[in-house]
Amino acid sequence: MSANSKSGGKGAEGKDKPMSREERLAAQLRENLRRRKAQSRAMKDDGEG
């Protein structure tokens, strides 16, 4: 995985230094986009064949 997903993205951010609101939102958007892309690929693969 990437460096952004050290511990699943919950709770570990505050140990080194607290993330700003914008940084947290950006990380959540990236994770959401990654999930949606994987979901879309899985649905597309199911439809073919």
The encoded tokens of residue 25 equal 């939102």
Distance, in Å, from the CA atom of 18 to the CA atom of 39, rounded to the nearest integer, reads 31
CB 5 within 8 A of CB 32: no
Q: What is the mean pLDDT of the chain?
A: 79
For residue 15, the model assigns a pLDDT of 63
pLDDT at 46: 80
Name the pLDDT band for 16 (thresholds 50, 70, 90).
confident
pLDDT bucket at 11, cuts 50 / 70 / 90: low
CB 27 within 8 A of CB 9: yes
- Quickly count: other Cβ atoms within 10 Å of residue 19's Cβ: 13
Q: What is the reported pLDDT for 29?
A: 99
